[in-house]
Amino acid sequence: MFYNSNFTTFAVVKDFFLLEKLGVFNSAKMNDAVFKFKRYEDSSLEYTGLSKHKDLRVGGYDTTTPRKEFEEMK
C-alpha cells in the first residue's frame, strides 16, 4: 500500500496498475526519472565501495537499456 502523508491518500497496488493502464503516467518522464535516480544511487554506492548495477542492461520504468548506453546518459 502506498501512503502519502501530505495528502493522506491511500492507493493499493491494483489502483496503481489501473492508473498505469489508463495512461496516467508519462512513460518517457518516468524512465528519465528512474535512470536519473539509478545514476545518483550508483554514485552513492560506488563511494562506499559497492556497485549495484553491474548487469549488462539497466532497467527503467518500462524499458531497459544497455549498460554502456546508460553510462553515456547525462
> Any idea where the domains of the chain sit in the sequence?
2-72
Measured between alpha carbons, how far is 71 from 62 in angstroms, rounded to an integer? 18
The predicted structure's pLDDT at residue 3: 53
Residue 56 DSSP symbol: S
Residue 6 has pLDDT above 80, yes or no: no
Q: How confident is the model at residue 22 (pLDDT cuts 50, 70, 90)?
A: very high
For β-strands 2-4 and 57-59, DSSP reports them as: unpaired
